[in-house]
Structure 1
Amino acid sequence: MNIGLGEAMALGSAATWAFGVVLARQLGSTLPPAALNLFKNGLVLIVLTPLALLSTHGQLPTLTTAQLVLSLVSGIMGIAIADTLYFRALNELGAGRMGVVGNLYSPLVLVLGFVFLGERLGAWQWLGFALVAGGVVLVARPPKQWQTHPSHTLRGVVIGLVSIALMAIAIVMLKRVLEAQSLLWITVLRLAGAVGGLLLLRAWPRMRRHFHFVAAAVPWPRLVVAALCGQGLSMVLWLGGYKYAPAAVAAILNESASVFLVILGALWLREPLGRRAVAGVALTFTGIACMLAARPL
């Protein structure tokens, strides 16, 4: 098994995202989706900008107009809009149903990577994809155990599907820019686009109610840690996976996030880990091993 930088970063992104989700489990009850998205991305932007400057010794990156526009649009589309819709769907459907909807992400990236980037997967990688997908399905809570019964299931599913599609499009359109430019600076530009888009939404009178919250009810320390880990570190590693590995491979490895979430839930929150979940974890990591075995030395 030979793991490259891109594959390692994709797996690291999945693990840190799951860690951030565990920390942020109760944030949705105190912050509406749009406000949560704005605070998380704004905080990460403040932290990452000086780090990006240090990484280039105070020099701004040299980007073409097209690269700059793609970076900003990717942030608006993939973070400002997609993440807000994702949080909305998560609130409407619950984690179990949204986890099933989220399984559309890697197939979409595979198709978009095939059409627009000319990427192809080998036999071992297709086997890895099938095993990872199977493991994620096993780990996902089966319908009979769903405890939430949303009154607008179809609306929630449509919102979730749109959010996943926007995420896939936003990352594939940025793949060539990532390969040519500084990872930290592209992350900063995406965040700038996202925060700018969210602030414009906040200024729109009809959208202001979606940003309203009670400050005293928000667990601010938890929000800060969840943002820096689950949003900041995870995003850098996530983009790094797409920079240094094929988009299709990075997307498949990102699917392991739900498995890491189950593992962290069992170890940290003492949530029960049944035989179905254990089988799903084993299947997922077998699929990851197949993906990594297919990587040329």
Structure 2
Amino acid sequence: MTPETFSSWQVWAFLSAVFAALTAIFAKVGVEGINSDLATLIRTVVVLITLSAILFATGQFTQSGPISARSWLFLLLSGLGTGASWICYFRALKLGPATLVAPIDKLSVVLVALFGAVFLGERPSAYGWVGIALISAGAVLIAVKG
């Protein structure tokens, strides 16, 4: 792999999908026998420690300038959304099989497309909307026929 490979958003998005898949499998096993909220807390602490170590090790913990109030607000809202998502995800994994929970969770892809169009003015192509519809249909088929 070349250095340019790691500046590609597609590579990072694919790696995100791989790690999200592993997260579902590891979390399903890890949540057995403990409260799902405690499992979420443990996961959150691990994420916090790991990311802090990466930022310190790479010298990225310093800020190049002030962070605007708007950035703080939306990062706070994003953090609250992440926390709520993780709590719901772990509770779903506690109650159901990972092979059914994960596809429903991935309906977030569909919701991002819809919210992006409504709130950000993003306009997926016709092929993009077909793909979004197929993701929706696939998640529903897996959940209903699972």
TM-score by length of 2: 0.74
Matched positions, count: 140
Instruction: Name the CA shift for 1:58/1:92 in 2 (closer, same or farther; >3 Å).
Output: closer
Q: Report what 1:117 is aligned to.
A: 120
1:129 aligns with 2:126: no
For 1:99 and 1:25, the matched residues in 2 are separated by 10
Q: Report what 2:47 is aligned to.
A: 44
1:66 aligns with 2:56: no
Select which of 24, 32, 36 maps to 2:35.
Answer: 32
Instruction: Name the CA shift for 1:35/1:130 in 2 (closer, same or farther; >3 Å).
Output: same
User: Which blocks of at least 5 consecutive residues in structure 1 are unaligned?
Assistant: 147-297
Q: Report what 1:292 is aligned to.
A: none
Q: What secondary structure sits across from 1:26 in the alignment?
A: helix
Q: Report what 1:8 is aligned to.
A: 11
Instruction: Name the CA shift for 1:54/1:5 in 2 (closer, same or farther; >3 Å).
Output: same
Rg larger for: 1
For 2:73 and 2:143, the matched residues in 1 are separated by 40
For 1:119 and 1:17, the matched residues in 2 are separated by 25
Distance apart, 1:91 and its partner CA: 2.4
Distance apart, 1:94 and its partner CA: 3.6
Q: What secondary structure sits across from 1:119 in the alignment?
A: coil
Instruction: Name the CA shift for 1:51/1:97 in 2 (closer, same or farther; >3 Å).
Output: closer
Distance apart, 1:132 and its partner CA: 4.1
Give me the identity figure in percent.
Answer: 26
RMSD of the TM alignment (CA)? 2.9
Contact conserved, 1:53 with 1:60, CA < 8 A, in 2? no
User: Which blocks of at least 5 consecutive residues in structure 2 are unaligned?
Assistant: none
1:19 aligns with 2:19: no
Higher relative contact order (CA 8 A, sep 6+): 1
Q: Report what 1:106 is aligned to.
A: 109
For 2:80 and 2:109, the matched residues in 1 are separated by 20
Contact conserved, 1:33 with 1:87, CA < 8 A, in 2? yes
